[in-house]
């Protein structure tokens, strides 16, 4: 009976996705991508191939998956398949050369999962963070395919810990091993009689350290900055620009600003330009010489984590929406991070720790941004300690390597 209710829930989700696809380009991409999943598998993947299947929800989870993908790739014993839910992950996954196959995860109907596992026989499924789909998990269990959850975080208000969530809770019990980020998550799982849990930390610390150690300078960025104080506004949304635009526009100093929007579609680039008339230049337009524009807009992907190297302060987008982007990419460069205040951001373990160490600074409005910016630019000692914080919390990938060896 519960299976029927869950399947009904999935069908409702599918219907909502379909309806929203008429007005939401990202959701349309998900639907179009799902239509090609089975065709793609039949065309490119042999059923007898030795596969490790890694599933991510979106770009953030994919960043957490990269150290694990690198680990598997080095072993050269299995090919790597990555599935994803969000359209924002598609481009990032496809351009990562260590991945052999990738596709949109199908809707979690039982029939879809039966079709998937007729075509795929992975050695192991790795689910990053918390994109748990009950029918996928249960079908894999029935096929004797082990599942490991990596870098997962659990909170008391998640549905698994309420009476109503016992179907999903039972699905979690079919996961072979949980490698969680903190002791709180372990304790919550233990309370619902899930004891195959180990605390390993967060692979994102390893990922940003790898970027830090393999940094390559970007000449065009250096030419734009021209030794001036620089503020990077990374992974920005419109809600961030609305808050910051007045203070950036009123800044009469020679401070340079680099804005890297979360969405680089032309309409979003044009939105930023419309807020700073005659004051911006796109990265794709940069000449190989100094320019007088104050604001550089990054109109391509994959650069942001290295661009943070060049700033004295980083503003991280998404905070006002309660969906804060990765602060560790900036903190590893030993710079203070500023972001929009929203109580939902406290769900991120690293945010609580960064604030406790006076490395992270939440703001509620543009004036607070101006005050903290001026304080940081005048006193270079403010907000330091991010690099040592990242180093101290790294090492999850080595632990994962040891724990996954029994499945490979």
- pLDDT digits over 40-88, tens only? 999 999 988 999 999 999 888 999 999 999 999 998 889 999 999 998 8
What is the model's pLDDT at position 214?
A: 94
What is the model's pLDDT at position 236?
A: 96
What is the model's pLDDT at position 2?
A: 61
CA max distance for the chain: 68
Q: How far apart are CA 169 and CA 154, in angstroms?
A: 12
Angle between helices 110-119 and 134-142 (to 10 degrees): 40
Q: How far apart are CA 237 and CA 260, in angstroms?
A: 9
What is the model's pLDDT at position 1?
A: 58
Q: Are residues 56 and 168 in the same domain?
A: yes
Q: Are residues 70 and 168 in the same domain?
A: yes
In a domain, 127, yes or no: yes
Give, for 274, the enclosing helix (H) or strand (E).
helix 266-275
What is the model's pLDDT at position 289?
A: 62
Q: Are residues 195 and 253 in the same domain?
A: no
Written as six digits, the tokens of 143 are 């096929």
In a domain, 210, yes or no: no
In a domain, 207, yes or no: no
Q: Are residues 229 and 350 in the same domain?
A: yes
| E strand residue ranges, 85-228 | 101-104, 124-128, 147-152, 177-180, 197-199
In a domain, 152, yes or no: yes
In a domain, 137, yes or no: yes
Contacts with 364 (C-beta within 8 Å, 6 or more apart), sequence order: 340, 341
Q: How far apart are CA 331 and CA 328, in angstroms?
A: 5
Domain containing residue 190: CATH number: 3.40.50.11720
In a domain, 103, yes or no: yes
Q: Are residues 33 and 83 in the same domain?
A: yes
How many domains does the structure of the chain reveal?
2
What is the model's pLDDT at position 322?
A: 84
Q: Are residues 177 and 268 in the same domain?
A: no
What is the model's pLDDT at position 100?
A: 97
What is the model's pLDDT at position 152?
A: 94
Written as six digits, the tokens of 279 are 């004051």
* Structural domain for 290, as ranges: 217-390
Domain containing residue 243: CATH number: 3.40.50.2000
Q: Which residues pair with 230 in a beta bridge?
A: 256
Q: Are residues 150 and 259 in the same domain?
A: no
Q: Are residues 185 and 297 in the same domain?
A: no
Q: How far apart are CA 102 and CA 270, in angstroms?
A: 31
In a domain, 356, yes or no: yes
Residues of the chain with pLDDT under 70: 1-2, 288-290
What is the model's pLDDT at position 21?
A: 92
In a domain, 212, yes or no: no
What is the model's pLDDT at position 395?
A: 95
């Amino acid at each position: 009976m519960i299976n029927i209710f869950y399947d009904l829930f999935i069908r409702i989700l599918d219907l909502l996705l379909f309806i929203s696809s008429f007005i939401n380009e990202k959701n349309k991409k998900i639907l179009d991508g799902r239509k090609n999943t089975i065709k793609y598998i039949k065309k490119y993947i042999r059923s007898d191939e030795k596969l490790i299947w890694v599933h991510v929800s979106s770009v953030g989870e994919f960043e957490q998956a990269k150290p694990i993908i690198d680990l598997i790739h080095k072993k050269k014993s299995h090919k790597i398949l990555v599935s994803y839910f969000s359209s924002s992950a598609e481009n990032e996954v496809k351009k990562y050369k260590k991945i052999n196959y990738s596709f949109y995860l199908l809707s979690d109907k039982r029939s879809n999962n039966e079709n998937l596992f007729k075509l795929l026989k992975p050695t192991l499924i790795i689910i990053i963070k918390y994109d748990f789909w009950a029918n996928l998990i249960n079908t894999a269990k029935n096929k004797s395919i082990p599942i490991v959850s990596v870098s997962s975080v659990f909170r008391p208000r998640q549905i698994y810990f309420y009476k109503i969530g016992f179907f999903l809770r039972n699905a979690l019990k079919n996961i072979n091993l949980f490698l969680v980020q903190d002791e709180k998550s372990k304790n919550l799982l233990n309370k619902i009689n899930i004891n195959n849990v180990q605390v390993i930390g967060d692979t994102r610390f390893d990922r940003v350290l790898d970027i830090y150690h393999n940094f390559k300078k970007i000449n065009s960025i250096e030419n734009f900055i021209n030794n001036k104080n620089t503020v990077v506004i990374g992974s920005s949304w419109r809600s961030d620009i609305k808050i910051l635009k007045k203070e950036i526009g009123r800044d009469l100093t020679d401070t340079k600003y680099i804005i890297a929007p979360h969405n680089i579609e032309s309409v979003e680039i044009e939105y930023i330009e419309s807020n700073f008339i005659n004051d911006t230049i796109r990265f794709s337009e940069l000449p190989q010489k100094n320019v007088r524009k104050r604001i550089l807009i990054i109109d391509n992907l994959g650069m942001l984590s290295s661009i943070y190297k060049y700033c004295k302060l980083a503003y991280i987008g998404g905070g006002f929406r309660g969906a804060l982007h990765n602060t560790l990419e900036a903190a590893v460069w030993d710079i203070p991070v500023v972001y929009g205040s929203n109580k939902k951001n406290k769900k991120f373990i690293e945010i609580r720790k960064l604030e406790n160490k006076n490395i992270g600074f939440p703001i509620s409005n543009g004036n607070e941004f101006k005050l903290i910016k001026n304080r940081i630019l005048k006193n270079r000692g403010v907000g330091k300690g991010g690099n040592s914080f990242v180093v101290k919390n790294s090492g999850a990938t080595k632990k994962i390597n040891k724990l996954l060896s029994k499945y490979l």
